[in-house]
């Protein structure tokens, strides 16, 4: 439903990005439902903007997998599918495995301290009701690992795939019941780097991701 949509103004962003962020947040929070039409004129009127930034924002949503254009029907909120979930997270699984192999060899003492600080920031975030903050601190934890891999090509590939993964990560952490498990997995990752145990790290990272896949798969099956 679009009744509660309000433009999230930001003086430092182009209008299309402001519209994109507003619609993106509404989709991730479930205020715009899977399959709901994204009608340019209606959204433009609701948000008090012209149709041009709406059109540009919808294209950006399509790039992130949050919207899809159906012939003769127009744009609508993309439905999450088990196939897309599996495809996206299989890619991440492979990238994470390579990242921990590289990071285990190359992580500096300063980066290990940074990783522990990132873990603590995530734990603190789980005590809030701010899902976006929880997602961002979870991403920040993993970003330390990617940076420690010291492979700019790998980091670029991971960043390019990040948008496709964001919706599933957001959907996962919307459920507070997973926080204790996530924290335990983050602590296990810390222990793996402390021991410089590559095989253990690859295993815990795979488990970390498998738990996300299984939890989000349940959500997808409950979609109307």
Q: Please state, in angstroms and rounded to a whole number, the distance separating the CA atoms of residues 44 and 34.
A: 20
> Has residue 3 got a pLDDT over 70?
no
Q: Please state, in angstroms and as integers, the Cα–Cα distance from residue 34 to each residue in 3, 18, 28, 174, 218, following that order.
A: 16, 21, 10, 16, 15
* pLDDT value, residue 13: 86
43 φ, ψ (degrees, to nearest 5): -65, -40
Output Rg (C-alpha) for the chain, integer angstroms.
19
Confidence of residue 1 (pLDDT cuts 50, 70, 90): low
The tokens describing 154, both together, are 């790998």
Confidence of residue 159 (pLDDT cuts 50, 70, 90): confident
What average pLDDT does the structure give for the chain?
92
80-221 CATH choice from 1.20.120.530, 3.40.50.10090, 2.40.110.10, 3.40.1410.10: 1.20.120.530
The tokens describing 61, both together, are 């949503």
**Model confidence over 94-108: pLDDT tens digits?**
999 999 999 999 999
**Model confidence over 191-200: pLDDT tens digits?**
999 999 999 9
- DSSP labels, the chain: --TT------TTS-HHHHHHHHHHHHHHHTSS-TT-B--HHHHHHHHTS-HHHHHHHHHHHHHTTSEEEETTTEEEEPPP-HHHHHHHHHHHHHHHHHHHHHHHHH--HHHHHHHHHHHHHHHHHTTSS-HHHHHHHHHHHHHHHHHHTT-HHHHHHHHHHHHHHHHHHHHHHT-GGGHHHHHHHHHHHHHHHHHT-HHHHHHHHHHHHHHHHHHHHHHHHT--
Residues of the chain with CATH 1.20.120.530: 80-221
Confidence of residue 28 (pLDDT cuts 50, 70, 90): confident
Residues of the chain with CATH 1.10.10.10: 13-75
Rounded to two decimals, the pTM is 0.83
Q: 13-75: what CATH class?
A: mainly alpha
Q: Please state, in angstroms and rounded to a whole number, the distance separating the CA atoms of residues 79 and 86.
A: 14
Confidence of residue 4 (pLDDT cuts 50, 70, 90): low
């Amino acid at each position: 439903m679009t009744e509660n949509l309000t433009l999230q103004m930001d003086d430092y962003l182009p209008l299309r990005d402001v519209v994109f962020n507003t619609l993106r947040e509404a989709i991730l929070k479930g205020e715009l439902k899977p399959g709901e039409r994204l009608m340019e004129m209606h959204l433009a009127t609701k948000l008090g903007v012209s149709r041009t930034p709406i059109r540009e924002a919808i294209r950006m949503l399509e790039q992130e997998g949050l919207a899809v254009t159906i012939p003769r029907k127009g744009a609508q909120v993309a439905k999450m599918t088990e196939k897309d979930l599996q495809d996206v997270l299989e890619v991440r699984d492979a990238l994470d495995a390579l990242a921990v192999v590289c990071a285990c060899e190359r992580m500096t003492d300063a980066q290990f301290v940074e990783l522990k600080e990132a873990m603590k920031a995530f734990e603190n975030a789980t005590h809030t009701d701010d899902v976006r903050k929880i997602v961002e601190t979870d991403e920040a934890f993993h970003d330390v690992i990617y940076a420690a891999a010291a492979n700019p090509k790998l980091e670029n590939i991971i960043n390019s795939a990040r948008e496709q993964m964001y919706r599933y990560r957001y959907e996962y952490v919307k459920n507070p019941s997973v926080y204790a498990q996530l924290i335990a997995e983050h602590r296990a990752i810390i222990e793996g780097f402390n021991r410089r145990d590559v095989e253990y790290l690859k295993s815990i990272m795979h488990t970390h991701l498998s738990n996300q896949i299984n939890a989000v798969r349940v959500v997808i099956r409950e979609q109307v």
